[in-house]
Structure 1
Amino acid sequence: MSGQLTGLLTERVFRALDARLERDVDRPVALALSGGGDSMALLDLARAWAGARGRRLLALTVDHGLNPDSPDWSRRAQTAARAMGADWRGLSWDGAKPTTGLPAAARQARHRLLAEAARAAGARVILTGHTADDAIEGDWMRAEGSTLGALRAWSPSPVWPQGRGLMLLRPLLDETRQALRDHLTARGLDWIEDPANADLRFARGRARAALAAARERAPSAPASQAVPPPSSIQNTTGGLIVVRGASARVLAAAAVCAGGGDRPPRGERLGRVIDRVENGGPFTATLGGATIHGAGHGAGGEMVLVRNAGEYARRPTPPLALTPGVAAVWDGRFEITVHDAGFCVAPAAGRMAALPRADRAGLKTLHPGVRGGLPVLIRDDGSDPVLAWGRAEVRCLVGPRLAQALDQTPHERDLDPAPNGATPGNTLSSFPNIH
């Protein structure tokens, strides 16, 4: 019976991987491998899939430095990965650790390290071993006040800009933790039990303890998210146009992408903006680092979302120095590569009057709110400003990022093929009248 169950599990996981991933391409699929039961089962199942589908597997293990046994756990993960024919790389969360909010900080550091390693290897997808039990525990934690997001089988990397162009795939999200351990036992494979998972100081440990008496509860799949129709959002240079009928989820995602930040707006702040949208009149509001210019229903009912240029004055940061040939992400929205030394990038806000005549003429063709948030190249001494398109390769990340956030990239082949994380030729990548 155990062999039959293992075979059925393998079939389900193969279907989940086939639905999202390409076959017979040289690019690796990354896999987060802690050495725990969930990730070890994922490694075993993904190895079988990769071998059958002509893919390379890259296992990534993060040592958080929080347990004296973690170096040994990393060595065991390395041995297991290489025994199964996967490449392996160890990653370390170095430096001081926070005294409060440690689980959230560790999760953020883990995703950052995984994203950087996956991108460096050319991967577009990272597999993680989250299970139906994790989804149920997350429900419990949110009911207790946690802001932890709901797990989805296919979602963008949660770190920005390190995770640009990357998706997370959770092919075990409909499987129970026990079923995976039964699979490992049947296969003669062992795993590590991290004592932190049962530590009642942390919300995850409390959730597991609270749910231990309800094992008979059937795991529920994460709630599906409605995909907005493509016509509800349009690109504009450096910003987005969203129709007023868009949902709160769409508006929040558009705001964080247009603003270049990494935390979607929630709660009362989002609710107040939604109220203004639903009132029907023209309005201007800020949300998630973006400014929303809302026309009234009689004016077409559109909202233009652009970078809130006023934040450059409120939170000034020095110009970003650029290294020739190395792509740099500026303001969370543009990826810029220069080929000559001696340049920095800064916002157009406060510099527009000093731009060349052709640049100023180009700016006049754009929505006024867009202009101050566009990238300008200046010399290292601050002189000779010019719109970045005139001296560099510029890729806008807003459109591809929003497409991933709103489930418009359902397959690996739909993801950004550019090595530096932005889709070539997307409508946000060019500036009208600038050559």
Structure 2
Amino acid sequence: MSGAVEDLLRECAPRVLGVLVRHHGRFDACEDAVQEAMLAAATTWPREGVPDNPTGWLVTTAGRKLTDHWRAENARRRREDVVAAQAELVAPEAVAVDDTLELFFLCCHPDLSAPSQVALTLRAVGGLTTAQIAAAFLVPEATMAQRISRAKSRLRGAGFPRGADSSRVAVVLHVLYLIFTEGHTASSGPDLNRADLTTEAIRLTRLAHHLLPDDGEVTGLLALMLLTESRRAARTTADGAMIPLAEQDRALWDRALIDEGIALVTDTLSRAPLGPYQLQSAIAAVHADSVSGHTDWAQILVLYDILDRIAPNPVVTLNRAVAVSEVLGPAAGLALVDSLAGDKRIGGHHRVAAVRAHLLELLGDLDGAREAFRTAARGTLSLPERRYLESRADQLSGSR
């Protein structure tokens, strides 16, 4: 299957699924029918050519698959055969209404766990196969299949939510953020970056931005992703070793992504109510705009102060500690990091130990820094992060 056909199928899939769910309900059965229709298209279109109305073709094919399944099911049960016989196919013209946003909301249903929301969004809206999703999150395909199956079962009978209320949008953005974050710095495995996940997260967030162009937080999240992704080529060496931000070759940063991200965040900050993703994208924009290597840490600290007021959480505190150390000195930053020690949400996270190690090194406590680097290394399943942290500890041992 050519890349063009694959891209077209992924673009059409959420619209087709939205049509079927809107007309028939039964998310699980509709999703299975769409997957079968996409498989049929993948084998038919390269041979016979892409139809004039590809989405309509998929709607018709998936509708027939759905009816066939219901007939077989009802024949077995013997008590609903009349319903199956009377099942109506959805006309191809029904795709005039785009239910993709409602499909986003359904996949991010509050009754589902965050991992299930992520998996279902990648499957139903992203068009990824179960095998692809399992590979992305480094779990067996059978495990991911069970997760997706349970999620679909929980949605059985759940209709489309009506209206883009802020709580639903917030959940969708959180799921997209989780997908991107896992791709930007994989939680485990041999690679620091997972370009397949960051690319898919950006594609889905662009789609959300197209559906909600006036939502400042959607725009802010898209800007944050673009600005963060712009540094990907500079984050590792040729052999995959991690390069921290301060040591990156900024000539390798993607200027097109930076320009697009800065334009988006500038626009949304000027007209939309302020939110956490907009502030994070503004911070990323300050970093991205410091191509010369001179970062305006004072401005970053002001932005983190605002973020800490409107959306306080321990991750914000940890990141703010770095900015505090740059502006007010490492001792002030270390005091902020140490305040997180008793926080069960993040106190044992390896990045707390890594930031602490960096600040101890700046203060001249090389023994403490070395031990903190080793503690951080033991706490991560990411091989590039572990190797980098171990190398920092080794460097400090050699400097004695």
Q: Which has the higher helix share?
A: 2
Higher RCO (CA 8 Å, separation ≥ 6 residues): 1
TM-score w.r.t. the length of structure 2 is 0.29
